[in-house]
Structure 1
């Protein structure tokens, strides 16, 4: 089955489909042990690849190269890719979509922000005129062959949010994402405005949206949930803690660290993943030599 069609099938299944945000090959390898769907987060990629905040620094060839490596290592996982605003012009967005489809992406998220852009959960966002965004979206939709396309709005006023959600739902986009929905009531109103079009919700620690379980999201009519930063923020906390501990113990490595064998046990399957979801490390047999 083609990658886009496989993701569509997962989205159409009962319940809310989770997609876990990853920022490098190691985080993706760990996430793939636990989840079938991964999300290439712009927030995480900007932090890991450039060491910069998510304010528009990403160059699209870097994202294409990352997705190509992901697909080679994880041929059976869903890969939804954040392409920000399509990296400026509609023609560039179309080229990005062609390239990502060629290297095996399952889908893309295209936002309606104008430059300078911002992470969807910070202040200072501005959106394109609706007609200008729809022109870009139409070109992306005409370019894709199989990719799932998520139309995302970063509008903030509720009337404009609902207007754009309804307009996006009327297109051939597969899914609509309203970024930064501040309450359950807003989620319900967006859901009504969109009709039957699948709805995506972004979960991000410290963001503008409420923390909700998958069961709660299902009850609200949400079809897909992306978790943009759990891997990135966990790595941030764990690395900080590990280096503080190393300094406090005068450079003596801790006894409870991941070791060489466990690290290799994670990475060797990437040479030839055949689609079986590996079990978490705690229940995996020791690697034989």
Structure 2
């Protein structure tokens, strides 16, 4: 199966294609029951795998291993992976891309940040000179055969954003992403300079970008919507509440029907269904 082509075809269809951020296999199992497209964000992976912030700690073999497990578990889903800056020099970025393509991933996101890098919705981001990033991007594009590539800029100056977005749209990248877009009007300006190239919008709770529905995004000409952290933040909130409740109850577990959470039977049933579904693929 050509996973890159399948995602391109989906993006080219009407409306805005949603990709849901997952951070581990359990969150992926839940998200995959509701959506056919998954996204692995650097923010979520750094938090879940290392317990660290998204400032460049990810080692590429860890991300590749997780992506391989995802593809094995979800053979029919679109899988887009954030590879940050390619984890170093262009040669390493190309190696990672080739590994992910062999594993059957649908696509990758490659950013233009320089180290020390930051979450795309954090302050203090710095970007590479445009020509240096374009050289890395060209090498990555030349190293793939089918894999979809999202060219991402983390520029924050309005003029630089438009210059870079236009330059990225002129490459052979499949999709353009400007991360941390701050307004609807900014989306319109970016849409105007990228021409017919597909445009991706990244939403993260508490981030710098406006919260928009898929209908609103489609009206703005956005082709792909990535939801980076809904599973991670929901898990954070639920676990914090569970620990607070357990402590206040002197260690007595609430009944499942009282605690508002699933019980072991429900969780086991869901995981058993997933196992059966994957074994039948």
TM-score range, shorter chain: over 0.9
Contact 2:108–2:148 (Cα < 8 Å) also in 1: yes
Measured in 1, the distance between the counterparts of 2:92 and 2:268 equals 39
Cα deviation, residue 252, structure 1: 1.9
RMSD: 1.3
Q: Does 1:252 align with 2:252?
A: yes
Q: Is the 8 A contact 1:28 1:38 kept in 2?
A: yes
Q: Distance in 2 between matches of 1:272 and 1:120?
A: 38
Moved more, 263-272 or 106-115: 263-272
Q: Deviations over 1:142-192 (max 9, x none)?
A: 111111100000001111100110100011100000011111111000000
Post-superposition offset of 1:248: 1.6
Aligned residues: 276
In the TM superposition, residue 10 of structure 1 has moved relative to its aligned partner by 1.0
**How far apart in 2 are the matches of 1:89 and 1:78?**
27
Distance 2:151 2:272 in 1: 36
Once the two structures are TM-superposed, the CA of residue 262 in structure 1 deviates from its matched residue by: 1.4
Question: 1:49-88 maps to which residues of 2 (within 5 A)?
Answer: 49-88=49-88
1:16 equivalent in structure 2: 16
Q: CA deviation at 1:270?
A: 3.6
Give TM-score scaled by structure 2 length: 0.96
Indicate the residue corresponding to 1:42 in structure 2.
Answer: 42
1:272 positional shift: 4.8
Deviation at 1:12, TM superposition (A): 0.7
> What's the TM-score, normalizing by structure 1?
0.93
What residue ranges of structure 1 are gaps of 5+ in the alignment? 277-289
Partner residue in 1 for 2:232: 232
1:219 deviation in Å? 0.3
Match of 1:271 among 267, 275, 278: 275
